[in-house]
Amino acid sequence: MKLFTCILLLSFSAFTFANNSLPTHRHISVTGSAELMAMPDIAVIHLNVESEQITSLDAKKEVDQRVNNLLDGLADFGVDEDSVSASNISTEIRRTYSRGEQDKIEGYIARRTLKVTLNDIDKLNAFMDFALSVKINAIRSIELKSSDEKKLQQEVNALAVNSAKSKGKSLANAFDAELGAIYSINASSNQSHHRYGANNEAYKMRSSMADSAAKPGRYLQENIVFSATIDVVFDLEL
């Protein structure tokens, strides 16, 4: 019976993994996987502000003023300068085109992009209201993160390892064999961030948002999924 089992195992390995760099002796290849879900507690908000003026300098000054107004209010949300990126700026000419006539310069547009990390996600809605109130043109997207990211990734990696071990032992025992030494390990992990604005839709400023009588918006937080996969090749002992 053991000889017949050995032949089956060798045949399965040769057929399935003929094109892979696997050992020629008795072995078993298994994949372990795991997932962990966590509630986000950090929000990274991507903002866009732009202004169109008669001159490029006026457009830049207008944009800079709006950004400064935002920066001046960040302390109310527990945000320091290390949690803000506001260095990008671009300008361009706005032209009008008429058939048979020379292009005409209508004005200049200045744009700045910002990234703000909010460590207290409970203040997200209030921060968005504030950003729009100081004439930030658009909230481009919001990334949801966890402050325990490293710890959770380590935990899900350990779960994937245990999954691979369990599968390997179960299959080996089913063929009256035992797991031997590890021949190779190939691990991969990824983290899926569910976020508002995932399709790059922008939260535009509207007059209704300035209505103090309006109820605050409700944003249902999606879970962050941490996942890991590990491919392991074990020697087999009969």
**198 vs 181, residue with greater confidence:** 181
Encode pLDDT of 166-187 as tens digits. Answer: 999 999 999 999 998 988 998 8
- CB-based contact 124:196 (threshold 8 Å): no
The residue with tokens 């999954």 is 163
pLDDT tens digit sequence for 41-93 = 999 999 999 999 999 999 999 999 999 999 999 999 999 988 999 888 999 99
Helix (H) / strand (E) element for 235: namely strand 224-237
For residues 205-224, average pLDDT? 54
H or E element at residue 10? helix 2-16
In this predicted structure, the answer to whether residue 8 has a pLDDT above a threshold of 50 is no
The conformational region for residue 105 under phi > 0 = left, psi -120 to 50 = alpha, else beta, is beta
- Give yes or no for residue 155 having a pLDDT over 90: yes
119 has a pLDDT exceeding 70: yes
Q: For residue 107, is it left (φ>0), alpha (ψ between -120 and 50) or beta?
A: left
Residue 31 half-sphere exposure, CB side, CA atoms within 13 Å?
5
Domains along the chain with CATH numbers: 21-40+147-206+217-238 (3.30.110.170), 42-145 (3.30.70.2970)
CB-CB contact of 116 with 45 (8 Å): yes
**Cα separations in angstroms, 83 against 79, 114, 116, 127:** 6, 11, 6, 14
Distance of alpha carbon 134 from alpha carbon 154, whole angstroms: 41
Q: What is the mean pLDDT of residues 136-152?
A: 91
| Model confidence pTM above 0.85 | no
The predicted pLDDT at position 225 comes to 87
Q: What pLDDT is stored for residue 221 in this prediction?
A: 61
